[in-house]
Amino acid sequence: MVKNSGSKICGMVITPIAIKDPPLLNAAGVHAPYALRTILELVTESGIVGISEIPGNVQTNEALESARSMVLGMDPFHLNALQNRLAAYFGDETAASRGDTPWDQRKLVHVFSALEVACLDIQGKMLDRPVVDLLGGKMRDSVPYAAYLFFKYEGAGGVLGTGQDPAAMGWAAARQKEAVDPEGIVAQAKAMCAEFGFQSIKLKGGAFEPRLETDSMFALYEAFGKDIPLRFDPNAIWKPETGLQFGKELEPILEYLEDPVRGQQNMADLRKKLGIPLATNMCTTSFGDIPSSIRLGSEDIILSDHHFWGGLRSSMELAKMCRTFGRDLSMHSNSHLGISMAAMTHLGAALPEMPYALDTHYPWQSEDVILGGKLPIVDGAVAVPSGPGLGVELDRSMLAKLHADYLACGLTKRDDEAEMQKYHPGWKFETIRW
Ligand SMILES: O=C([O-])[C@@H](O)[C@@H](O)[C@H](O)[C@@H](O)C(=O)[O-]
Ligand SMILES: [Mg+2]
C-alpha cells in the first residue's frame, strides 16, 4: 500500500550545526573544537519530512541553497532528472576540485548526496520500507565498523576545551586523553574496543614522523595479536621512498595500507612493490578517476563515501564497477552524527560484498541530532534501522542547540591547518612531508 504517492516537495530547510569534536591529529593539522555538519529537511505537501546530513561548509550550504528552485515542486522519486539538472547547473567537478586535504571539498557531490538521501528517506516513509530496500534489499542485518584511532591532544572538544571532565568514565574518559605515542594509541584502542567491541582497527597517521607511527602499529599488533585486522592511513603525506620503506616494514601486520603516497601514479608504482592491498579515499575519488585507476592499477580497495560519491545509489553503482574491474569496495568517514550513520549503515547493508569493516568517526562524537540518542554499536556493528526511510528522526531540541553552537563558534569551514597554528604558530600543511 503506497501512502501519499505523488506528493511533491514543498519545503526545504537547511540547518548548519556545530558538534563537539576532539583535537584529533592528521596530516592537514588538527580538528577544531567543533566539526561542522549541515542538516537538510525536505517536506512534502502531505507533511512527510525527509532528512539527511552532510559535511558542513558555508560554500556547500550556499550551493545547496542555490538548488532550491530545482527541488521545490519536484517529485521525490525523480532523482535522475534532478541529478541531470544539478550537473548542468554546477558544471564539471574535476579531480582537482576535491582539494589536497584528507577531506573532499567538492560541491555537486555533497549537494546531490544531501538531496538524494533526504528524498530516499521520504520514499521509504511513503512506501513504509527502510532505505536499504530501495537499494535492492539487505545482504546483512548489521554492518561491521572498525575502531578508528587517532593521535590526539588532550581534550574532547567543544566547551570542554583541553580540560578533562572529572565525571566521565569508560570511553567518555578515554576519549579525552592525549595520545601522542604508541602507549597512548594502545590505551585508546583498548578503551574504544572495550566499549564498542570493534573487530578491526584503523590508525590515522600522517601527524608524526613515520617511525613513531609505524612503532604504534607494531604496538597495536603486539597488544591485539593477529586476529584483529589492522589498517594504517598517513593520508598520502609520505614520499615514494618512505612509502616503500615503511610499507615493507608494515607488510606482515597490515590488512591494508591506505593512501601511503599521493596520486594514482605513485600509488600504482608502490603497489607493484608491496605485498599488501592498498586502499584509497584520496587518489580515486570520483567516477572520472576510474579509467586511469584501471589503466595504472593504483589501488586494490576504493573507500567510497556517499557524501563524496553523490549519494547512496551512486555508491551502489560504484560497487558494480568495483566488481567489474577487480576492486574491493569499503567506506571512508569524517566526523559525523547519527543521520549519516544511518545512511552509511543502510548502504553497508545493501552492498553485495563487504570484505572489510567500514570506517566511522562516530565514537568520537559525544552529541547527536537524532531522537533516542546515538545509534548503538554492539560487537563492533550497527544494526540496520528497521523503521521506514532512514529509520531515524530529528531531535529538534538538539538541532536547535547545535545550530546555536554553530552560530556561537564562528567557524564556517573545516580548517585543520589554522587550528594547528593555535598550538604551533607558523605550522604549515605540506601535501608531502616525509
Ligand atoms: O578526520 C580526519 O582527520 C581524517 O583525516 C579525515 O578527514 C579523512 O578524510 C579520513 O578519515 C581518511 O580516511 O582519510
Ligand atoms: Mg583515508
Contacts 24+ apart (CB under 8 A), 184-188: 184/151, 185/149, 185/151, 185/216, 185/219, 185/220, 186/216, 186/219, 186/220, 186/223, 188/149, 188/150, 188/152
What atom of ligand 1 comes closest to residue 303's alpha carbon? Answer: 13
Q: Which residues in the chain show pLDDT less than 70? A: 1-6, 160-166
Find out whether 35 and 158 touch, Cβ atoms under 8 Å.
Answer: no
For 300, 329, 357, 363, the CA distances from 119, given in Å and listed in that order, are: 32, 25, 27, 27
The amino acid at 23: P
Which residues on neighbouring strands pair with residue 214, listed in sequence order? none
Residue 99 lies in a domain: yes
Distance from Cα 255 to the centre of ligand 2, integer Å? 14
Ligand 2 centre distance from Cα of residue 226 (Å): 22
Question: Which atom belonging to ligand 1 lies closest to the Cα atom of 202?
Answer: 13
- Given a contact cutoff of 8 angstroms between Cβ atoms, the answer to whether 299 and 98 are in contact is no
The residues, ordered by sequence, that sit 6+ positions from 267 with a Cβ below 8 Å of its Cβ are 259, 260, 261, 278, 280, 283, 296, 298, 299
246/171 same-domain check? yes
Cα gap 232→153, rounded to integer Å: 19
Residues 64, 152: one domain? no
Instruction: Note the ipTM here.
Output: 0.94
Structure-derived torsion over alpha carbons of residues 163, 167, 173, 179, reported in degrees to the nearest 10: 30
Residue type, 236: A
CA dihedral 276, 330, 20, 395 (to 10 degrees): -160
C-alpha 351/C-alpha 311 separation (Å) is 14
Q: Which of 323, 328, 377, 336 is nearest to 356 (CA)?
A: 328
Please tell me if the CB atom of residue 334 comes closer than 6 angstroms to any atom of ligand 1: yes
- C-alpha 401/C-alpha 397 separation (Å) is 6
Among the bound ligands, the one closest to the CA of 361:
1
Residues 213 and 73 in one domain: no
Whether residue 217 sits in one domain with residue 364: yes
In a domain, 429, yes or no: no
Q: Could you tell me the three cell numbers for 179? A: 595520545
Q: 149 and 17: one domain? A: no
Q: Is the CB of 202 under 6 A from ligand 1?
A: no
Three-class SS state of 36: strand
Nearest to 329 by CA among 361, 366, 360, 300: 300
Pairing of β 29-30 and β 142-144 = unpaired
Assess whether 254 and 373 both reside in one domain: yes
Residues 178, 299, single domain; the answer is: yes
Kindly state whether residues 261 and 143 are assigned to the same domain. yes
* 207 closest CA partner among 229, 177, 174, 185: 185
> Are residues 409 and 385 in contact, defined by beta-carbon separation less than 8 angstroms?
no
Closest residue to atom 14 of ligand 1, CA basis: 102
Cα distance between residue 387 and residue 5, in whole Å? 18
Q: pLDDT of 290-300, one tens digit each? A: 999 999 999 99
Residue 94 belongs to some domain of the structure: yes
Distance CA 380, CA 147 (A): 8
Q: Does some domain include residue 413? A: no
pLDDT per position as a tens digit, 41-90: 999 999 999 999 999 999 999 999 999 999 999 999 999 999 999 999 99
User: Quick check: is 315 in a domain?
Assistant: yes
235 lines ligand 1 (CB under 6 A): yes
Instruction: State pTM to two decimals.
Output: 0.96
Task: Give the total number of structural domains in the chain.
Answer: 2
94: domain CATH number?
Answer: 3.30.390.10
432 in any annotated domain: no
> Measured in angstroms, how far is the CA atom of residue 432 from the centroid of ligand 2?
15
Closest by CA position to 318, among listed 283, 341, 351: 351
Same domain, residue pair 245 and 298 = yes
Please state, in angstroms and rounded to a whole number, the distance separating the CA atoms of residues 112 and 308.
Answer: 9
Residue 361 annotated as catalytic: no
Kindly state the DSSP code that residue 412 receives in the 8-state scheme.
-
**Ligand 1 in reach of 26 Cβ (< 6 A):** yes
Main-chain phi, psi angles of 145, to 5 degrees: -120, 160
The verdict on 197 and 257 lying in the same domain is yes
Residues 231, 370, single domain; the answer is yes
Furthest C-alpha separation in the chain = 62
Tell me which residue range forms the domain holding 378: 136-383
91 and 207 share one domain: no
Q: Is residue 184 included in any domain, yes or no?
A: yes
Query: Of 125, 332, 336, 346, which residue is the catalytic one?
Result: 332
The catalytically annotated residue of 20, 31, 204, 306 is 204
Q: Is the CB of 283 under 6 A from ligand 1?
A: no
Give the residue from 184, 170, 240, 249 showing the smallest Cα distance to 214: 249
CATH code of residue 323 = 3.20.20.120
User: CB within 8 A of 285, min separation 6: which ones?
Assistant: 95, 98, 104, 308, 309
Q: Where are the alpha helices (DSSP H) in 128-166?
A: 131-134
In terms of phi and psi (left: phi > 0; alpha: psi -120 to 50; beta: otherwise), the region of 3 is beta
